[in-house]
Amino acid sequence: MYQFSGKLKMLSFALILIGAIGIGVGFYNAPSSVEDVKEMMSHEASSHVDDHAGANNHAVAGDHKEESHVAATVEHVEHADNGSEDHGVSHEDAHAEHVFHQLQNRPWSALYVSLFFFLGVTLLVLAFYASQRVAQSAWSVVLFRVMEAITANLVPVSIIMILVILSASVLHWNHMFVWMTEGTFDPSSPNYDAIVDGKSWWINTPGWTIRSIIYLLIWNAYRWFIRKNSIAEDTANDGYKTYKKNYNVSVGFLFLFMITETMMSWDWIMGLDPHWFSTLFGWYVLASLLVSALTVIAFVTIYLRSKDALPGVNDSHIHDLAKFMFGFSVFWTYLWFSQFMLIWYADIPEETTYFVARFEEYKVPFLAMVAMNFVFPILLLLNSDYKSIPWFVVIGGIVILCGHYVDVFVMVMPATVGSQWYFGIPEFGALLFFLGIFIFTVFSAFAKANPVPKGNPFLKESEHFHYYNIEHRGEGSGDHH
Amino acid sequence: MESSKVIHAFYNDDEILLDAVKAVKAEHHHIEEVFCPFPVHGLDKAMGLAPTRLAITAFFYGITGLSFAIWMTNYMMIQDWPQDIGGKPSFSWLENMPAFVPIMFELTVFFAAHLMVITFYMRSRIWPFKEAENPDPRTTDDHFLMEIPVKNNVDELTTLLTKTGAVEINVVDKH
């Protein structure tokens, strides 16, 4: 049995504490009124005067462009009844309000990006685990307890997600989702948005909240069931009845997972840009989270193996995980590019705004993400020998994980904070906070069960798993042939 | 002149063959060749054959294909005759790059795959009308054959090979 070391526990608490402080600082620094923002903007303006002074036309043109691709906020409503005389003044007010909402969104978005990233990664570990059961794959059986332990993180992140969902939809504490603005669906309101109103059969606050909670319940129910029954499998000795039950439930879960994952990506990510839509999006989010999930499995496996906590795992298992990391990195790139290229090629304005917003204001993360998620892993993990060298996999994995964090960042931020984005204390704090929770839940869950799933009929095969061209370190050549 | 006799030892099971190869290697005899009707997992390791470098060649062929595609799209679409086709930006290669990616991808795969296969044929000396080299037709059906060059040690080798479970041992002239 594995012992959750006190050092690691301290580290996780420290991360949670530092992260919580970072998140708190983010909320503390967010402006509380439009006046604050105006003051801040006048400070900024005075530092480069020539930008705004006497260039009303320029300001209007520039802001109009920004407004059209952010496609959020109440700003465009005010735009409609602007007279020619007071144009400059009222526009500046509108702009200040716009920036105010963006700055208010920033701590929420910082929290949301990390929350979604960790929730998604944990969820995809669960889905990958279910797929391994359904495929009756033998190689991964010795990794089952690692994957189960990682899914323990699903519980706290789901709870935080429910809190964030309720604070957005019921309590109206944040403006991340523009369509939750009062009057969006009311034709007599200045905030009326006909396009969103046309979709109100799907995006409406009660429906969204209920759906979100149902997704989380389904995922957590499966995790709770499979963890309990996987441990029961160890000692069941009932002619594989428990094993078969776990198989059947996993088939059912995968079916529900594919549906809920797709709808989750519409509700939680695409819902941030309610004027934009894409059919590929569910798959794209899936690919991004799946490659991160496999990397996380590889990381936890490599760490636990280095602590001698995983007796059955050999270099071939690491090699297979790295192969999956490599393959799904390419798969992610395929979907990313398919989505980008189809929209770029046809250049239909209502679709293109999405990428215009990202390309104009997020050029560095947007392009760096492709290098980190595609070019780097493809060159590093192409060689078969490198895939079984743990430190190589770790280096590749760190870049992949950072790359997919940036991916989620670029999915969320342009819709909520627009040009006001920055990777600072709130973002970093949220990342550390969820990392701390992850370390604590995962390793305490791993310490609670036998690291070898004894009752699994494929266990022997998994322990002798050997990829043909891998020379295992620390084993004689006679161990396999 | 050195004698050009070889021993042909026949086996009828791949597991027995694998153990025989290890036993013969352990006695430091050189194994000239092993003929099998199907790939025997681990035979190359047991014989101590060097790993193949075919994958490395494929990587470089792929890079060649990619370079070719980049050169071709740039020359044709940007340099030679930059037309406005449906508003696509043909001012520079990079601006119009997404449209070229499918070609770049396919040519990379095309070059990597085909040139690697041709390399394989050349290195393995396989071509149409090539005379077959199998010393005994049974090796394409259900027998395995180990070929060992003889250096005045026929008796010693025969005893060793009998012990390893060979079903038939012949000493033949090699031309």
Q: What is the pLDDT of residues B8-53, one digit of tens each?
A: 999 999 999 999 999 999 999 999 999 999 999 989 999 999 989 9
User: Are the C-beta atoms of A104 and A28 separated by less than 8 Å?
Assistant: no
Q: What's the pLDDT tens digit per position in B88-115?
A: 999 999 999 999 999 999 999 999 999 9
pLDDT classification of B56: cutoffs 50, 70, 90: very high
Provide long-range contacts, Cβ within 8 A and 24+ apart, for A114-117: A114/A405, A114/A427, A114/A430, A114/A431, A114/A433, A114/A434, A115/A157, A115/A160, A115/A161, A115/A164, A115/A430, A115/A434, A116/A161, A116/A268, A116/A269, A116/A408, A116/A412, A117/A292, A117/A404, A117/A405, A117/A408, A117/A434
Q: pLDDT at position B174, please?
A: 79
Chain A nearest C-alpha distance from B42 (Å): 6
**Residue from the list A345, A382, A469 with its beta carbon closest to the beta carbon of B98:** A345
User: Are the C-beta atoms of A15 and A436 separated by less than 8 Å?
Assistant: yes
Q: pLDDT at position B3, please?
A: 56
Cβ contacts of B99 on chain A, cutoff 8 Å: 341, 345
DSSP B53-73: -HHHHHHHHHHHHHHHHHHHH
Cβ contacts of A382 on chain B, cutoff 8 Å: 59
Cβ contacts of B98 on chain A, cutoff 8 Å: 337, 340-341, 344-345
* CB pair distance less than 8 Å for A341 and B18: no
Helices in A30-153 by DSSP H: which ranges?
34-47, 56-70, 75-80, 87-134, 144-151
Q: Residue A470 phi/psi, 5° resolution? A: -100, 125
Question: How many cross-chain Cβ pairs, A to B, lie less than 8 Å apart?
Answer: 21
Q: What is the mean pLDDT of residues A149-174?
A: 91
User: Are the C-beta atoms of B169 and B161 separated by less than 8 Å?
Assistant: yes
Q: pTM for this one? A: 0.88
User: Are the C-beta atoms of A22 and A114 separated by less than 8 Å?
Assistant: no
Say if residue A47's pLDDT is above 70.
no
Q: What is the mean pLDDT of residues A394-403?
A: 95
Q: pLDDT at position A45, please?
A: 64
Q: What is the mean pLDDT of residues A224-233?
A: 95
The closest alpha carbon to A432, from A412, A414, A405, belongs to: A405
Cβ contacts of B51 on chain A, cutoff 8 Å: 469
* CB pair distance less than 8 Å for A468 and B46: no
Reported ipTM: 0.90
Q: What's the pLDDT tens digit per position in A436-446?
A: 999 999 999 99
Residues of chain A contacting B, Cβ within 8 Å: 337, 340-341, 344-345, 347, 382, 384, 468-469, 477, 481
A422 burial level (CB within 10 Å; 0-12, 13-18, 19+): exposed
Cβ contacts of A340 on chain B, cutoff 8 Å: 98
Distances (CA, A) of B174 to A70, A232, A478, B144: 81, 65, 34, 18
| A378: closest chain B residue by CA | B59
Say if residue A84's pLDDT is above 80.
no
The DSSP bridge pattern shows strands B144-149 and B33-35 to be: antiparallel
Q: How far apart are CA A75 and CA A94, in angstroms?
A: 6
Chain A nearest C-alpha distance from B2 (Å): 36
pLDDT classification of A89: cutoffs 50, 70, 90: low
pLDDT classification of A241: cutoffs 50, 70, 90: very high
Say if residue A170's pLDDT is above 90.
no
The DSSP element (H or E) to which B7 belongs, if any, is strand B5-11
Say if residue B76's pLDDT is above 90.
yes
Residues 6+ apart with CB under 8 A from A131: A250, A254
Q: What's the pLDDT tens digit per position in B57-73?
A: 999 999 999 999 999 99
DSSP state of B145: E
Q: What's the pLDDT tens digit per position in A180-200?
A: 888 888 899 998 999 999 999
User: Are the C-beta atoms of A440 and A447 separated by less than 8 Å?
Assistant: no
What percentage of residues in chain A have a pLDDT greater than 70?
A: 89
Chain A nearest C-alpha distance from B87 (Å): 10
Q: What is the mean pLDDT of residues A451-470?
A: 89
What sign does the dihedral A333-A335-A339-A341 (CA atoms) show?
Answer: positive
Distances (CA, A) of A112 to A115, A164, B92: 5, 8, 39
Say if residue A409's pLDDT is above 70.
yes
Cβ contacts of A384 on chain B, cutoff 8 Å: 55
User: Are the C-beta atoms of B70 and B104 separated by less than 8 Å?
Assistant: yes
Mutate to test the interface with A, among B14, B43, B45 (most CBs of A within 10 A): B45
Chain A nearest C-alpha distance from B98 (Å): 6
Q: What's the pLDDT tens digit per position in A111-141?
A: 999 999 999 999 999 999 999 999 999 999 9
Q: pLDDT at position A40, please?
A: 75
Task: Tokens for A110, please give them.
Answer: 């910082």
Helix/strand/coil for A276: coil
Say if residue A42's pLDDT is above 90.
no
pLDDT classification of A66: cutoffs 50, 70, 90: very low
Cβ contacts of A337 on chain B, cutoff 8 Å: 98, 101
Q: What's the pLDDT tens digit per position in B108-156?
A: 999 999 999 999 999 999 999 999 988 999 999 999 999 999 888 888 8
Q: What is the mean pLDDT of residues A240-266?
A: 96
Q: How far apart are CA B168 and CA B152, in angstroms?
A: 20
Q: pLDDT at position A475, please?
A: 58
Q: How far apart are CA A124 and CA A133, in angstroms?
A: 14
* CB pair distance less than 8 Å for A481 and B101: no
Helix/strand/coil for B2: coil
* CB pair distance less than 8 Å for B41 and A477: no
* CB pair distance less than 8 Å for A345 and B87: no
Q: pLDDT at position A68, please?
A: 42
The DSSP element (H or E) to which B33 belongs, if any, is strand B33-35
The closest alpha carbon to A455, from A244, A148, A149, A220, belongs to: A244
Q: pLDDT at position A474, please?
A: 62
